[in-house]
Amino acid sequence: MSKKDSAWLILLAFFSIYVIWGSTYLLNKIAVGEISPFFLAGIRFITASILIFVIAVATGKNIKITFKQLKNTTLAGFLFLTVGNGLAVWALKYVDSNFAALEISAQPLVILLLMWILQGKKIQPMSMLGIALGMLGIYLLVSQKNILDQENAFVGILMIFGAMLAWAYGSLFIGSADLPKNYFVNTGYQMLTGGVLLMLMSLLFGEQWSWITSWSSEVQISMVLLIIFGSIVAFTSFNFLLKKVSPEKVATNTYVNPIVAMFLGWYFLDENIKPQAIIAAVILLTGVYFINSKKRIVLLARFRKRV
């Protein structure tokens, strides 16, 4: 591959992790308007996993894993996708997509605090400043009058926080877990097990299942985009970039995704962006910048499955 071709691929990959991952909030918001949240997420990840395994076999990759690896991928899929993604998608029934994206951008704060509580990790002074700014940003975000006036908005806020806890614990778990070495195969098993568990959760909560033919064209398009681009293309692009550029550059998606989500939610769904939300976003993302180290930010970006 020539340097020119490589440069174009890197550019397209950055577009993928910036715009595609940022757009998944909008796509899920559209889909959850017609489809039950656990059912929606389950169909998305099971379908994506099947496509991943087909691609893996077609390209000669070995998809066999040990029983221990299967148990670990099942737990990772449960934490990241069943609880993490499932609750975040469910929350979109009660809060705007741009609000959800901004609240989720505080994920590094939750990871850092969980590392301190569970692992006794010392918090550095710059990270302390980041935590203070992050908490201030979250307060400004959730205390907006237009948010508090929305019916069941507090339920949505708590759901997103629960999803963040699951992602944070999952991020710590995979650090020492025995998982398939091939990232593509690893992702396939996490999506498959997480998707199956999401469908079981859907049955447990008595969600209504529906055929794709009954969905509106907007929802059908959203689901296709979520499966192909949000679940496969963006993640593959992320791993490609990790091999081609520095982790700090790859991790900039942590800051860009909420901005993309805010713009798309405003443009396509007429979601209001109040001045207080903009101030909260600036403070919150500044706090995230101070919190993130090279190691933590890559861990977050790799395993925080975008809604």
For 215-263, write each residue's pLDDT tens digit.
Answer: 999 999 999 999 999 988 887 787 678 667 765 577 677 778 888 998 9
Averaged over 200-223, what is the pLDDT? Answer: 95
Averaged over 182-199, what is the pLDDT? Answer: 91
Instruction: Tell me the range of 121-125, 262-266, 298-302 where mean pLDDT is highest.
Output: 262-266
Averaged over 79-87, what is the pLDDT? Answer: 93
C-alpha span between 184 and 62 (Å, rounded)? 10
State the pTM of this model. 0.86
Per-residue pLDDT for 58 more than 90? Answer: yes
Averaged over 283-305, what is the pLDDT? Answer: 63
Whole-number pLDDT of residue 5: 61
Of residues 195 and 142, which shows the higher confidence score? 195
> What value, to the nearest 5°, has the Cα angle with vertex 96 and ends 205 and 219?
65
Token pair for 132: 């203070």
Averaged over 153-173, what is the pLDDT? Answer: 90
**Measured between alpha carbons, how far is residue 167 from residues 209, 223, 247 in Å?**
26, 23, 20
